Amino acid sequence: MTYLASSSRYKKMIYRNCGNSGLKLPLISLGLWHNFGGKTINSESKKVLFKAFDLGITHFDLANNYGPPYGSAETNFGKVIKGDLNRYRDELIISSKAGYDMWEGPYGEWGSKKHIIASCDQSLKRMNLDYVDIFYSHRFDPNTPLEETADALESIYKSGKAQYIGISSYSSKKTNQIFEILKSRNIKILIHQPSYSLINRWIEKDLTKTLLKKEIGCIAFSPLAQGMLTEKYLKGIPKISRANQKITSLDKSLITKKNIKMINDLNLIAKKRGQSLSQMALAWTLNNKAVTSALIGVRSLKQLNENIDSLKNLKFSKKELSMINKKAKDGGINLWSPSSSY
Among 127, 22, 5, 131, smallest CA distance to 57 is for 5
Asked whether residue 206 is assigned to any structural domain, the reply reads: yes
Measured CA to CA, the distance from residue 125 to residue 130 in angstroms comes to 8
Question: 320: buried, middle or exposed (CB in 10 Å: 19+, 13-18, 0-12)?
Answer: middle
Q: Is it the case that residue 243 has pLDDT exceeding 70?
A: no
| Residue 63 counted as domain residue | yes
Going by C-beta distance under 8 Å and a sequence separation of 6 or more, which residues neighbour residue 43?
none
Kindly tell me if the per-residue pLDDT of 254 is higher than 90: no
CATH number reported for the structural domain that contains residue 301 in this entry: 3.20.20.100
Angle at 20 between CA 17 and CA 26, to 5 degrees: 15
Residue 131 is assigned to a structural domain of this protein: yes
Task: Identify the pLDDT of residue 40.
Answer: 85
Which residue segment(s) compose the domain that 115 sits in? 15-341
Q: With respect to residue 7, please indicate whether it lies within any of the assigned structural domains.
A: no
Instruction: Please write the tens of the pLDDT for every residue from 34-69.
Output: 889 998 888 899 999 999 999 999 999 999 999 999
Q: Which H or E element spans position 72?
A: helix 72-82
The answer to whether the beta carbons of residues 333 and 133 sit under 8 Å apart is no
pLDDT for residue 269:
98
Report CA torsion sign: 175, 218, 302, 32: negative
* Helix 207-214 / helix 172-183 crossing angle, nearest 10 deg: 20
Q: What average pLDDT score do residues 240-245 get?
A: 57
pLDDT grade for 247, boundaries at 50, 70 and 90? low
What residue type is assigned to position 232 of the chain? K
**% pLDDT > 70, the chain:** 95
pLDDT at 208 over 90: yes
> What pLDDT is attached to residue 252?
78
- Counting the structural domains of the chain, the total is 1
For the chain, the average pLDDT equals 95
Please check whether residue 275 lies inside any domain of the structure.
yes
| pLDDT tier for residue 245 given thresholds of 50, 70 and 90 | low
* pLDDT attached to residue 232: 85
Residue 1 falls within a domain, yes or no? Answer: no
pLDDT digits (tens, 9 = 90+) for 28-43: 999 999 889 998 888 8
In contact, 152 and 111? CB cutoff 8 Å:
yes
Q: What is the mean pLDDT of residues 289-298?
A: 97
Q: Are strands 24-26 and 15-17 parallel, antiparallel or unpaired?
A: antiparallel
The amino acid at residue 299 is: R
Q: What is the pTM of this model?
A: 0.95
